[in-house]
Amino acid sequence: MTEQLQIDFDKITKSSDISEKDIELKKKYLNKFLERGFPNKRQEDWKFLDINQIIKKNIGDLSFFNDYSETNKIDTSIFVDGLEHNKIIFVNGRIEKIDFNYEEKNMIEINDQLENKVLFDSENSLIDLNNAFTNKIFKIVIKENYSLKKPLVIYHSTNEKIKSKSISLRLDFELEQNSSLRLIDFFSDDTSKNFVNILYSFNLRKDSILKNYKIDKFKNDNLKYSFNNIEQETNSVSETFILSAGSNYFKNEINCNLKGKYSSAFVNGIFSLAENQQHEIRTIINHLVENTKSYQLIKSVLGKLSKAAYQGKIFVNSKAQKTDGYQLSKAILLDETSEFNAKPELEIYADDVKCSHGSASGSLNENSIFYLMSRGLNYQQSKELLINGFLLDVVEKITDSEIKNLIKNMIGLKE
């Protein structure tokens, strides 16, 4: 694979109009990646999902060169129905359309010529890979005191015209003071055995609100990796909801730095996995100053031969007194071949804090099924009803009622 990476990288530097300086930077990240390669289970953060093995066994050889000069056709049938929304459409990793028709134009700034690119320096080799191969980094700035009237839906779609086996993309968001953004990531894939590497960076200024909903619903056999970095200033709120269901392999990472007082972060997630799927959510919430709050709820329903993992870490700095941190993960194993792994971690250096976590896993409660069956439901119905109630709990945590209903309809949950 090393050769392929090098060849594809050379193609990119020749074909596109990247400046010398950028090429140097990208080269640095490529070399960093080459040094370490794809993460494997020997690394603590990857012990439950060995991407290296998955690529070797299930995805196959990857290639990395995409020709971004050609446009792709947008398939409008993937659009979300019943919700007026702004759009950003990625097709095969290329931004085909940015449409903020519902908003005041001067309140949103879109910048694709970033002067000094803030590239992450991290221990994570997939981020290095993203830094080396990502095409154009768009930065979207929501101006002071502006709340988007309609949600923004980002469509991540792929089709058979894709040129390479791997896509890296990156978006940066800045929410200026007292602004708010509702963001839905919607995945729809027509390709098979691709690796999609998505990097988001959010900068939340004072009093701003970010709501991010990631919906991976449609069955596909791709491998996806998504990393959200969220920096939060005073009194800002971030809410992340993850529906992890469609792709064969999916790892979502949230890294959230609560840097301002009274800032809070919420992460809610659902794993709904069927045959042979392997998914993971990993969160790191860093409480860096006092009076910050975080809340996480992850629920999983796991079918035959599926495997889900949740690694959640709450870090509390010694300055971060009065921190309130909470984590809960629950899993229902439906088949004897399903597997759930959890590593809910607390790292605490301040004494006046309230931090707790809980984790439970097991099969459906026989007594509850018996109760429902004695009232006339059959086994399948009782099972569905129980799972419905189990997952509804997470969806109810969504604070935006419009989107909550949309998501309920999407996964077919009843109240």
Decide if residue 362 touches other proteins (CB under 8 A): yes
Alpha-carbon distance of 186 to 173, in angstroms, equals: 17
Stretch that binds other proteins, among 78-86, 106-114, 336-344, 393-401 (CB under 8 A): 336-344
Stretch that binds other proteins, among 28-36, 53-61, 118-126, 334-342 (CB under 8 A): 334-342
Alpha-carbon distance of 168 to 177, in angstroms, equals: 30
Residues with Cβ within 8 Å of residue 36, at least 6 apart in sequence: 125, 128
* N-term to C-term CA, the chain: 49
Tokens 């419009």, located at residue:
402
Residue from the set 114, 305, 334, 385 that interacts with other proteins by CB under 8 A: 334
Give, in order, the Cα–Cα distances in Å from 238 to each of 266, 330, 365, 412: 6, 22, 34, 26
Minimum distance between the CB of residue 59 and other proteins, rounded to whole angstroms?
Answer: 24
Residue type, 91: V
Decide if residue 190 touches other proteins (CB under 8 A): no
Q: Which is nearer to other proteins, 137 or 309 (CB)?
A: 309
Decide if residue 386 touches other proteins (CB under 8 A): no
Decide if residue 321 touches other proteins (CB under 8 A): yes
Decide if residue 360 touches other proteins (CB under 8 A): yes
Give, in order, the Cα–Cα distances in Å from 111 to each of 103, 139, 142: 17, 5, 12
Decide if residue 348 touches other proteins (CB under 8 A): yes
Neighbours of 359 (CB within 10 A): 16
* Beta partners for residue 139, in sequence order: 111, 172
Minimum distance between the CB of residue 360 and other proteins, rounded to whole angstroms?
Answer: 5
- Cα 51 to its chain centre, rounded Å, is 16
Site string for other proteins, 240-279 (x = CB under 8 A): ----------------------------------------
Decide if residue 21 touches other proteins (CB under 8 A): no
Decide if residue 349 touches other proteins (CB under 8 A): yes
- Pairing of the two strands 324-333 and 293-302: parallel
Helix, strand, or coil here: 58? helix
Q: How many residues bind other proteins (CB under 8 A)?
A: 35
Decide if residue 284 touches other proteins (CB under 8 A): no
Give, in order, the Cα–Cα distances in Å from 189 to each of 75, 213, 358, 370: 11, 18, 35, 40
Residue from the set 65, 274, 344, 382 that interacts with other proteins by CB under 8 A: 344
Decide if residue 42 touches other proteins (CB under 8 A): no
Decide if residue 359 touches other proteins (CB under 8 A): yes
- Pairing of the two strands 94-99 and 86-91: antiparallel
Minimum distance between the CB of residue 20 and other proteins, rounded to whole angstroms?
Answer: 40
Decide if residue 343 touches other proteins (CB under 8 A): yes
Decide if residue 337 touches other proteins (CB under 8 A): yes
Residue from the set 148, 210, 215, 333 that interacts with other proteins by CB under 8 A: 333
Tokens 């300055």, located at residue:
319
Residue type, 18: I
Residue from the set 195, 213, 227, 340 that interacts with other proteins by CB under 8 A: 340
> What's 46's DSSP letter?
G
Decide if residue 81 touches other proteins (CB under 8 A): no
Contact footprint for other proteins (CB under 8 A): 44, 318, 321, 331, 333-363
